[in-house]
Amino acid sequence: MSNLRTMAKLVGNRQGVLLVSLWRRVLTPVCRAAFLTSAVHNGVLRLLADQPRTAEELALALGAPAEAGPRLRGWLDVGVELGELGRRGDRYRLRGRLSRALVRPGNEAVAASLEQMVSYQIPALLHAPAMIKDGRRLTLGDMDGEVTARASRVLEPFIEAAIERVVDRGRPVRLLDIGCGTGVYSRHAARLNPLLTGLAVDLQQDVADQAAANLARWGLADRVDTRRADLRELEPGEPFDLVMMHNNIYYFSEGERVAVLERARRLLAPGGRLLLTTSCRDGNVGLRILNLWFDLADFGGPLPHHHELLAQLEGAGFTEVQATRLMPGQAFRAFVGVNG
Ligand SMILES: C[S@@+](CC[C@H](N)C(=O)[O-])C[C@H]1O[C@@H](n2cnc3c(N)ncnc32)[C@H](O)[C@@H]1O
């Protein structure tokens, strides 16, 4: 009866209706996103996918003392309330569709995208007006290069299809992978052509180290050298037949893009090709927030408009410049240009 009375009061009260609608449509999804991000980041989903555990066992597995169990229980019970975790007795397990999907093999890049959005991009949305007012800027250190590299892998099938269109087969090819991230695209090119050798570079030391470890694990260390390097400082040496730049043109300011692309072109042999893939500015809300992040940063610049990038490639001396949409209906494109 008293519940009914409360409901009746809420329905008759505009603020109450707004609050209920806010909780249902906005705050619950935000809480779910924050809880899942934290559970992925701290390895809790993985631990619970292995076996149901008590809060004390989880605390120990996370490196906290078992006495921290009761406090961890408060956090776990939020997951239960959201329906992402279940609890039988004092043991927690995975229950929700999303929590179970995020630990499934093959979904690692989606899990990293969630973490990237919640931990790095939403804060930019939250703080943008104050940052603009105070003249504060984001730095490269405000982004976790390793999470970014893993999150970028959601685009892998589309980028791989673009690589398949440009890698020559059956003859030795020299590849340069600029901003190589995890190194997966060097691996893909190397698998397409067993005579391909190359160099994979990344600006960030930890990312380059991880790429080197990955390429060694994949048995490619003798074919692809990996090191930390800035494209802007790479000097022409033995020319490359193919230069790849995936998801990093916005790490360069708009004003320096022509010069950067020209430097990439000078590293190519005559007739060599550049394959550049990027999200463009005509995208969805996620891409608008990525664009905002780079607008707020003290390096790089906004996502390119695709027609501007085509003009910049021509300005850098590339010929036969073309852009292709890689995902139907999405603003993610491949740009190809020839040196010569
Ligand atoms: C979003 S990640 C993409 C990684 C990878 N290409 C992929 O698509 O998965 C962009 C990478 O470009 C690297 N990068 C940015 N500016 C660079 C520069 N001037 N020279 C070399 N690498 C750079 C960053 O360190 C970062 O790891």
Q: Which domain holds residue 291?
A: 146-339
How far apart (Å, rounded) are the C-alpha atoms in residues 325 and 307? 13
* 56 and 178, same domain (yes or no): no
Query: Which residue, 154, 138, 103, is CA-closest to 287?
Result: 154
Pick the residue whose CA is nearest to atom 14 on ligand 1.
Answer: 179
Q: Is residue 230 domain-resident? A: yes
Q: Is residue 119 domain-resident? A: no
Confidence (pLDDT) at 205: 95
Tell which of 102, 128, 154 closes a domain.
Answer: 102
Q: Is residue 110 domain-resident? A: no
Q: Is residue 294 domain-resident? A: yes
Pick the residue whose CA is nearest to atom 27 on ligand 1.
Answer: 181
Confidence (pLDDT) at 3: 75
* 272 close to ligand 1 (CB < 6 Angstrom): no
Atom of ligand 1 nearest to the CA of 152: 9
Q: Which helix (H) or strand (E) holds 91?
A: strand 91-94
Query: Nearest 5 degrees, angle CA 238-CA 242-CA 243?
Result: 90
Query: What is the Å distance from ligand 1's center to 178 Cα?
Result: 7
Confidence (pLDDT) at 145: 85
* 226 and 93, same domain (yes or no): no
Query: Which residue, 36, 46, 118, is CA-closest to 83?
Result: 36
Query: What is the Å distance from ligand 1's center to 168 Cα?
Result: 24
- Counting ligand 1 atoms within 8 A of each CB, the residue from 121, 203, 277, 291 with the most, and so the one to mutate, is 203
* 179 and 252, same domain (yes or no): yes
Confidence (pLDDT) at 33: 98
Confidence (pLDDT) at 146: 86
* 145 close to ligand 1 (CB < 6 Angstrom): yes
CATH assignment at residue 61: 1.10.10.10
What SS3 state is found at 225?
Answer: strand
* 97 and 150, same domain (yes or no): no
Mind giving me the DSSP string for 230-252?
Answer: -GGGPPP-SPEEEEEEES-GGGS
Query: What is the Å distance from ligand 1's center to 142 Cα?
Result: 15
Pick the residue whose CA is nearest to atom 9 on ligand 1.
Answer: 152
Tell which of 102, 137, 164 closes a domain.
Answer: 102
Q: What is the C-alpha radius of gyration for the chain, rounded to an integer number of angstroms?
A: 24
Pick the residue whose CA is nearest to atom 4 on ligand 1.
Answer: 181
* 316 close to ligand 1 (CB < 6 Angstrom): no
Could you give the number of structural domains in the chain? 2
Whether the CB-CB separation of 163 and 138 falls below 8 Å is answered with no
CATH assignment at residue 163: 3.40.50.150
* 209 and 96, same domain (yes or no): no
Flag residues of the chain having pLDDT under 50. Answer: none
Q: Is residue 203 domain-resident? A: yes
Q: Which helix (H) or strand (E) holds 221?
A: none
* 247 close to ligand 1 (CB < 6 Angstrom): yes
Whether the CB-CB separation of 180 and 145 falls below 8 Å is answered with no
